[in-house]
Chains A and B, each alone.
Chain A
Amino acid sequence: MFGSFIKKSRAKSPWIMHFDCGSCNGCDIEVLACLTPLYDVERFGIINVGNPKHADVLLVTGTVNHRNKKVLKNIYDQMPEPKAVIAIGACGLTGGVFREAYNVVGGVDKVIPVDVYVPGCPAKPEAIIDGVVAGLAKFAQKVEEAG
């Protein structure tokens, strides 16, 4: 009984950690907009924690470059399982307009496994909230498969 309550609670209490990999701040502003009274993601139990050790979902915005790929990997490794990664915006998905630049590695999935891709330049807050909900469904599925 307690096990099923834990499973149910996972979807009801996703704590997010937001990492700006090198974004122009457009997507970051939209991520923070989700926390404002207009969108109020806290009604789904979502909290923006600043600590990877407490986080369930990692939101990454911006292109990955050779300098910050280690930081991104480090943050990902510090998050306890089960966890989900959501890449946000054109840059986070593929590198966007910067993909050809000499210092850019590309999208977030070049460094860590990504569960959900939220497109847009910048991504809309509604799309980000949808992305988090889709991410939760994905990690519920991962937990099922792992048994």
Chain B
Amino acid sequence: MDTLILVIIGLVAGPVLGGLIAGLDRRVTAWFQSRQGPPITQAFYDVAKLFGKEKMVVNQWQILCSWVYVIAAATSLALFFAQSDLLLIFFVQAVGAVFMVMGAMAAKSPYSQVGAQRELLQVLAYEPVLILVFVGFYLVTGSFSVSAVWQVDQPLLAKMPLMYLALGYALTIKLRKSPFDFSTSHHGHQELVKGVLTEYSGPYLGLIEVAHWYETVLVLGLCALFWTTNVAWMIVLIGCTYLLEILVDNTMARMTWRWMLKRVWLLGIGLSVVNLIWLYAG
């Protein structure tokens, strides 16, 4: 019964928190650029408007792919709230991410195609880091379960600081922030129009946006697991991490996928492996 309530909280909290975070993000970015910026609830208006638009698809696959993406993202967050197995959460999330790419590949547009290839490279970059972070959780708690993380008596950040830095890379990629926003971006124009999202439109783009909110909350939830002993400090940790993400987004240029693979694989995986050796030896 408790699990069911947690699942429902997860399903509701995903879009609500994700949308508010997206709105806050635009507000803070506007503040950095000495603008006023849109209202905090802007992300909800955008998605509601998209749901009211005409249904235009290039290919029937896009309908299936956007639904699978949103369902997988919602399921992975629900599993996370239900304190399920981290590996299961990871695989469900990966299925969604890959379906989103498949939908983009179903259209012949070169923008969509190149965007999809770049998105695949991004998935390739962050997924090993996530897996290594989960292995780190296992070495500390002796289990892949989220509930085991809640039973530790000191914050995991003390034992896995390098892992947290590596997770920062995954977070930046997943939030589509500069320097890793080359498959698609929240901001203005880019060389690929809208990259992987170019051919999604109307309600299906709305679904993808909702799925993106679920994933944002999931990745921030993973960050939260690094300080489970005190809720106040957990909120401070997530808040600081997200502010840092916005700062990085506003101060960095967009880089290439080669740069990303080098950085994330060498530094991200390197930091994780060093941390794993430390956990294993200590």
Q: Which residues of A contact B (CB under 8 A)?
A: 2, 5-10, 12-13, 15, 37, 40, 42-45, 47-51, 53-54, 56, 80-82
Contact = CB atoms under 8 A, between A and B. Distances in A.
A82 B54 CA distance: 7
B38 interface: yes
B270 interface: no
Given A45-B38, A45-B42, A53-B56, A9 B49 contact: yes
B189 A50 contact: yes
A42 B54 contact: no
Interface string B35-55: 111110010111011011111
Given A45-B38, A80-B202, A12 B54 contact: no
Contacts of B37: 40, 42-43
Contacts, number: 83
B203 to A, nearest CB: 9
23 contacts: A6-B48, A6-B49, A9-B44, A10-B49, A13-B42, A13-B46, A40-B37, A42-B35, A44-B38, A48-B189, A50-B188, A50-B189, A50-B194, A51-B193, A53-B201, A54-B194, A54-B197, A54-B201, A54-B205, A56-B49, A80-B53, A80-B55, A81-B54
Interface stretch (B1-9, B26-34, B90-98, B229-237): B26-34
B215 interface: no
Contacts of A56: 49, 53
Contacts of B34: 37
A53 B58 CA distance: 11
A113 B189 CA distance: 26
Interface of B: 26, 30, 33-39, 42, 44-46, 48-49, 51-56, 188-190, 193-194, 197-202, 205
A44 B190 CA distance: 22
Greatest chain A CB density within 10 A among B37, B42, B55, B200 is at: B42
Contact of A13 (B30, B45, B194): B45
Given A9-B49, A42-B26, A80-B53, A51 B35 contact: no
Nearest to A3: B52
